[in-house]
């Protein structure tokens, strides 16, 4: 029953089931796919299946109602160990991994098994990853490790070779819109469809974009950049930095907001690419479409490609420890150089 709460990942579930019916349960998994599409929820239901009191684990179909299933859902099951990058940090610390390995070695409270969910596995530094290798190679009997990351490419080969890799696709738009309605992100089906389109398969992204203040900033930024008279790049960089900082006092929240907006710029420039190629840009937003048409008129396809590419580069840097103000300043400077001289 709890699988019903997971949308859009039938392919991953099928792969998991196939692996299970072909013999014994692998002891380590690496879940990879874009952020915010439900890998963590999937891992939770998997943990329920592994610990359910009523349904044997090979059925991979937890009841969702026994004490064990409820504890997993509430995050209180003593045999489900979770580690994630601390909110104010950029890395999973080696200390966290060492403690996890020690905990895994203790006897399970349920007498059955321990399940470890390692979130933000992308952010394990090499030192932490190496500390983890021995446990990954030979976990305590019965234990199952689930690593959650965005791509297998960011992991060390030594990690990948010890895990069953399960790939997750972005949610289809219709599924995402349904999730947004179910989670009351919005009550308006048209708005849910608009957010689902903008968010490109990510629930987390859609939640961010549902914020009216952010949506207002996004609108103003796109209108300014597409203004036929050009735009004031240094001033926009400052406003973008200030607005990002208003997301909260933690650097991680500020960077998250900056990434949402840079992602929106990248999507806007991709729309311009369609337009310069003579195709109808796939945007549900009439104001975006007007802005795309206005800007694309002045640009060559290779310029637009450069702009979109520059946004991806900035996004990569925001995910690292580089000063946010500097990244945004350099980004706007480069965008201005192309756009204002077109
Ligand atoms: Zn159960």
Ligand 1 centre and the CA of 39: distance in Å? 20
| pLDDT confidence band for 23 (50 / 70 / 90) | low
pTM flag (> 0.85): no
Q: Which helix (H) or strand (E) holds 83?
A: strand 80-83
Mean pLDDT of 247-258: 87
pLDDT above 60: residue 303: yes
Q: Which residue from 210, 270, 264 is spatially nearest to 240, judged by alpha carbons?
A: 264
Beta bridge partners of 149: 32
Ligand 1 centre and the CA of 20: distance in Å? 18
Q: Tell me the pairing of strands 28-32 and 80-83.
A: unpaired
- Hey, how many other C-beta atoms are within 10 angstroms of the C-beta on 242? 11
User: Are the C-beta atoms of 185 and 210 separated by less than 8 Å?
Assistant: yes
| CB contact set of 64 (below 8 Å; sequence gap of 6+) | 1, 2, 48, 73
Cα–Cα distance for residue pair 181/177, rounded to 1 Å: 6
Start-to-end CA span in the chain (Å): 57
Higher pLDDT, 89 or 209: 209
* Cα Rg of the chain (Å, integer): 22
pLDDT above 80: residue 265: yes
Helix and strand counts by DSSP (H, E) for the chain: 15, 5
Ligand 1 centre and the CA of 75: distance in Å? 14
* Site of tokens 């997971």: 6
Ligand 1 centre and the CA of 115: distance in Å? 15
Q: Tell me the pairing of strands 115-118 and 144-149.
A: parallel
Ligand 1 centre and the CA of 71: distance in Å? 10
Report residue 48 as tokens. 């329920």
The CA distances from residue 41 to 44, 108, 114, 145, 221, in Å, are 5, 22, 18, 15, 34
pLDDT (tens digit per residue) in 175-204: 899 989 998 999 999 999 989 988 888 888
pLDDT (tens digit per residue) in 119-172: 989 888 888 888 899 899 889 988 999 999 988 888 888 888 999 999 999 888
Report residue 2 as tokens. 């709890």
* Domains detected in the chain: 2-167 (3.40.50.300), 171-199 (no CATH), 211-339 (1.20.272.10)
Ligand 1 centre and the CA of 332: distance in Å? 53
């Amino acid at each position: 029953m709890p699988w019903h709460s997971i949308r859009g990942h039938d392919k991953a579930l099928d792969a998991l089931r196939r692996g299970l019916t072909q013999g014994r349960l692998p002891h380590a998994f690496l879940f990879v796919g874009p952020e915010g599409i439900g890998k963590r929820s999937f891992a939770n239901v998997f943990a329920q299946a592994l610990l359910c009191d009523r349904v044997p684990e090979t059925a991979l179909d937890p009841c969702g109602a026994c004490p064990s299933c409820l504890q997993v859902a509430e995050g209180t099951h003593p045999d489900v160990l979770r580690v994630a990058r601390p909110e104010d940090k950029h890395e999973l610390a080696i200390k966290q991994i060492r403690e996890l390995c020690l905990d895994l070695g203790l006897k399970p409270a349920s007498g059955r098994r321990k399940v470890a969910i390692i979130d933000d596995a992308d952010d394990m530094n090499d030192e932490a990853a190496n500390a983890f290798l021995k446990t990954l190679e030979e976990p305590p009997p019965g234990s199952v490790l689930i690593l959650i990351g965005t791509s297998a490419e960011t992991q060390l080969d030594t990690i990948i070779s010890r895990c069953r890799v399960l790939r997750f696709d972005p949610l289809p738009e219709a599924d995402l819109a349904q999730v947004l309605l179910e989670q009351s992100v919005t009550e308006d089906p048209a708005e849910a469809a608009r957010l689902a389109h903008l968010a490109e398969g990510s629930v987390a992204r859609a939640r961010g974009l549902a914020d009216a203040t952010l949506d207002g900033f996004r609108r103003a930024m796109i209108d300014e950049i597409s203004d036929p008279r050009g735009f004031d790049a240094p001033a926009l960089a400052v406003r973008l930095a200030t607005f990002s900082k208003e997301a909260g006092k933690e650097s991680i929240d500020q960077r998250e907001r900056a990434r949402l907006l840079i992602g929106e710029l990248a999507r806007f420039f991709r729309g311009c690419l369609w337009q310069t190629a003579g195709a109808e840009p796939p945007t549900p937003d009439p104001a975006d479409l007007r802005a795309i048409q206005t800007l694309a008129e002045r640009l060559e396809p290779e310029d637009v490609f450069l702009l979109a590419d520059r946004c991806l580069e900035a996004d990569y840097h925001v995910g690292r420890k580089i000063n946010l103000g500097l990244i945004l300043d350099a980004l706007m400077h480069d965008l201005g150089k192309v756009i204002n001289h077109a």
